[in-house]
Amino acid sequence: MRIVFFSTQVYDRESFLALPRSPNTEFVFQQPKLTADTAVLAAGAEVVCAFINDDLSAPVLETLAAGGTKLIALRSAGYNHIDLEAAHTLKLEVVRVPAYSPHAIAEHTVALILALNRHLTRAYNRTREGDFSLRGLTGFDLVNKTVGVIGTGQIGTAFARIMAGFGCKILAYDPYPNPEVEALGVRYLELDELLAQSQIVSLHCPLSPATYHLINESALNRMQRGSMLINTSRGALVDTPTVIDALKSGHLGYLGLDVYEEEADLFFEDLSDFPLQDDVLARLLTFPNVIITAHQAFLTHEALDAIASTTLDNIVAWAEGRPQNLVKLET
Ligand code: NAD
């Protein structure tokens, strides 16, 4: 069985090559993203293994199906980037990794909060320049602050637990309240109430038509002046130009992003030798109270190992006719 991996970096290859596999399983690692142009690289491969910024739209899936692909194995939990209707029509099955390490993402979320609050990037740059002044570095105590968690699945729950440990008051919004989260003393509220009462708002829900631009102008207006917004979930949950306006007016006090609506052509690449073409991202990068990481929240050794082993298990189970972790078209 030939498996073609797209969007692979050194760490992906290492985690897959460390796993035992049967001699008739061939790994072909491609560095380029899966696009309409690169889809032909999978010709003859029964399985295509794709990551979050790969193009899995109908035309790309058609090329893959025509080349003999039968299974799309996603190395991600999120599956908003695949046209499930087209996959269904083309008889392509889709599997994913529902959970690898929710802690990796939750802990990165906390890293963004602490770095923004205590101005760590400014402090780091200053001390390296021999500037040991503290002007502009005042933070706030996290204890007794109110944190709003939007989406209390695996990652939101892990995040809520950590923030409860800081002594924060936790509010949550999720159409399906989680008893495990309620047991932490967390109160579920309507979204508008959560936005109005929180000093820190963190997004942990999936991207769907219902959550597209969940944080828009009216949501931002409901948030407290000077509050902090963190998005480690999916870029399009946030209407970025509106967030820029809120940062310019000072209404939004801090912004931490690990995901960006237009990240697909930027993240995971070293573009440092070229002028940045994305003016919205360029503007975001000018604010001292904004930290952007390039979709790295998942990047821990534990998460990479879990992604590789679950992906390979998914592929083997599918090949043996007992598919697991299938992504089904909701009708
Ligand atoms: P999960 O499925 O365990 O939880 C998602 C939760 O969101 C569920 O409880 C669901 O009920 C809730 N939800 C659905 N619609 C909602 C809405 N309209 N408003 C509020 N909540 C809603 O998923 P998870 O494993 O916790 O992952 C959450 C998201 O994190 C993923 O969808 C993915 O986009 C993102 N993610 C990011 C990274 C990264 O590296 N930055 C890595 C993995 C996952």
**pLDDT, mean of each 10-residue run, the chain (331 residues):** 97 96 95 97 98 96 98 95 97 95 97 98 98 98 98 97 98 97 96 98 96 98 98 98 98 98 92 96 97 97 97 97 94 68
Active-site annotation holds for 295: yes
Sign of the torsion angle spanned by Cα atoms 70, 74, 77, 80: negative
Q: Is 98 in the pocket of ligand 1 (CB under 6 A)?
A: no
Q: Which of 204, 214, 234, 268 for mutating ligand 1's site (highest number of atoms within 8 Å of CB)?
A: 204
Highest CATH level, class, for 102-292: alpha beta
The confidence score (pLDDT) of residue 330 equals 81
Contact partners, residue 216, CB within 8 Å, separation at least 6: 239, 242
The confidence score (pLDDT) of residue 151 equals 98
pTM: 0.94
| Segment (H or E) for 155 | helix 154-165
* Spatial contact of 15 and 308, defined as CB atoms under 8 Å apart: yes
Torsion of CA 67, 72, 78, 81, to 10 degrees: 20
Q: Are 2-100+301-319 and 102-292 the same fold in CATH?
A: yes
- Give the start-to-end residue ranges of the domains of the chain: 2-100+301-319, 102-292
Active-site annotation holds for 251: no
Q: Is 259 in the pocket of ligand 1 (CB under 6 A)?
A: yes
Q: Is 244 in the pocket of ligand 1 (CB under 6 A)?
A: no
Active-site annotation holds for 187: no
Q: Is 173 in the pocket of ligand 1 (CB under 6 A)?
A: yes
Which superfamily, per CATH, for 2-100+301-319?
Answer: NAD(P)-binding Rossmann-like Domain (3.40.50.720)
